[in-house]
Amino acid sequence: MTHFPLLTVTLLLPLAGALVIGVIPKEATRLIRAAALVSTLVTFVASLFIVFHFNASVAGPQLEDQARWIPQVGATFHLGIDGISLWLVILTTFLMPASVLVSQHVGEKVKAFHIVLLVLETSLLGVFLSLDLALFYVFWEAMLVPMFFLIGIWGYERRRYAAVKFFLYTLSGSLVMLVGILFLYFVGGHSFDIASFSHVHFAKSTQAWLFWAFFASFAIKVPLFPLHTWLPDAHTEAPTAGSVLLAGVLLKMGAYGFLRFSIPLFPDAAHRFAPVLGVLAVIGILYGGAVAVVQKDLKRLVAYSSVSHLGFVVLGIAALTTTATTGSVLQMVNHGLSTGALFLLVGMLYDRAHTRQIADFGGLAAVLPVYGGLFLFVCLSSLGLPGLNGFVGEFLILNGSFPVLRVLTILGSGGVVLSAIYLLWAYQRVFQGQPKVPHAERQSLWKDLSFRELAAVVPLLVMTVVIGVYPRPFLRRIEPSVREAIHGAANAATPSGSSSASGFKGAKP
């Protein structure tokens, strides 16, 4: 490293915060919470320096840090960032302070909770920053452990079931991907560095099974239909901070994996199987939206909405056009903000009522007017109201997908209608009509949002407006990297390029 290792510092700051909390006595809960909040804020500020030093005109990795890690097997500590990963890193550091602020209700094992939260942040950042497959896989698997504990220890009634289901689903897919990574290592010159595979041309049959090996892990993480069944349980049983990070960041790892690995490394297979991705994405859009309509649990409704919204992201990737894929990357950020805010607000409501059943509420707009106004604002953002962030991403995806996946795009656009139905109908039942809470209880328990709660959710809402009104600074940093990935894959998948592919040296096509 010949420059200041900004990416390494940002990556390790949460881990340093976890070590600091480790020496604080467990009885000093206020000090522990303060240390966790300061750690996440410092990490966010450090990540802003990445944006300041990022060159929007460069398509490839920037600010790279590289050092010897395991030289015996050719694994390196190689970090870098481009337009595809930039805003996902910022989204991760942006959501962490909010996750700490809404965790005041955690009264059991407070010290362990915040250590786990900070370790999870480092794991998530490592996934988006790694340019070495071995390092990427370590962070990809490391993320499972803190999330498993967040759900299993600090979750709700069926937390153990949800935690085990989440762990088994995601681990099984990751193990299949590991087989593909090892194959790449042995045929790519005994190196795990992603750049070392750019000049290796695989036969069509080899690309096909490698594509599906990586697909197994990425599709589960998105999650794509029909591999989505772990998600509603994990969301419903996770604590509020766990749900925010699960929806805001973890689900993006799968879509990010498609863009970072599946398309550039297996371009022929990516083009051959893109329609399959598109079909699964549209099924997820419509299925997730339809199931969300009939949900009785408010948190479970938001969980199924994630299945629907992430379907749009995958549809944009499947289109393999610059416009649609750029929209998909932006929509990952948009979904993290909007759905993260929804989970924050649902968690705040549960802290007051100790129930999430829609039928138990009514007339809350009169009881909690500020809360009701913010909830409606987030719903409008999530359903894609023009002027807010959700509209920009969905418009780019549908606009870029229509020329190449016309029927699927028309069908998928029905998800926009479904999102309006389940979000506005839920809002009507919870916030409109006569208040169901006795007047005396409203005065004593049902207080509107506190300063701490506003500090957690308002920054997310501000960003939904910023992106909705002026998305250009975000898009101009995303587009060059997307264009290079899409056009590079298209060139590699042309008949002239693929005809010379040979699986690996000495292999038969």
pLDDT of residue 509: 28
Residue 97, phi-psi category: left (phi > 0), alpha (psi -120 to 50), beta (remainder): alpha
d(CA 318, CA 226): 17
How do the pLDDT tens digits run along the chain, 509 residues long? 557 899 999 999 999 999 999 999 988 889 999 999 999 999 999 999 999 999 998 888 999 998 888 888 888 999 999 999 999 999 999 999 999 999 888 878 899 999 999 999 999 999 999 999 999 999 999 999 999 999 999 888 888 999 999 999 888 889 999 999 998 888 877 788 888 777 777 788 888 989 999 998 999 988 888 888 888 888 888 899 999 999 889 989 999 999 999 898 888 899 999 999 999 999 999 999 999 999 999 999 999 999 999 999 999 999 999 999 999 999 999 999 999 999 999 999 988 888 888 988 888 888 889 999 999 999 999 998 999 998 999 999 999 999 999 999 999 999 999 999 999 999 999 998 877 765 545 555 578 888 999 999 999 999 999 999 999 999 999 999 999 888 876 766 654 443 333 333 333 32
- What single letter denotes the amino acid at residue 109? K
- Check residue 77 and report its DSSP letter: E
Q: What are the helix (H) ranges across 199-321?
A: 204-221, 230-237, 240-245, 251-257, 263-265, 267-293, 298-319
d(CA 3, CA 219): 37
């030289």: which residue's tokens? 71
d(CA 132, CA 275): 29
Q: How many CB atoms lie within 10 A of CB 351?
A: 13
pLDDT of residue 195: 80
d(CA 325, CA 315): 9
Q: Are 500 and 413 in contact (CB under 8 A)?
A: no
d(CA 278, CA 284): 10
Q: Is the N-terminal amide bond of 403 cis, ω within 30° of 0?
A: no
d(CA 293, CA 263): 34
For the chain, what is the total number of helices (H) and then of strands (E)? 24, 2
Report CA dihedral (217, 318, 333, 254) to the nearest 10 degrees.
0
Residue 371: exposure state from Cβ atoms within 10 A (0-12, 13-18, ≥19): buried
pLDDT of residue 506: 32
- Check residue 432 and report its DSSP letter: S
| CB proximity list for 391: less than 8 A, separation 6 or greater | 384, 385, 468
Specify the pTM: 0.91
| CB proximity list for 324: less than 8 A, separation 6 or greater | 315, 316, 317, 396, 397, 399, 400, 401
| CB proximity list for 344: less than 8 A, separation 6 or greater | 98, 102, 240, 244, 456, 457, 460
Question: Which structure tokens are listed for 41?
Answer: 């804020």
Q: Which of 295, 483, 463 is nearest to 390 (CA)?
A: 463
Q: Are 318 and 218 in contact (CB under 8 A)?
A: no
pLDDT of residue 508: 31
DSSP run (H or E) holding 420? helix 414-431
Q: What are the helix (H) ranges across 102-203?
A: 110-129, 133-142, 144-154, 159-187
pLDDT of residue 494: 59
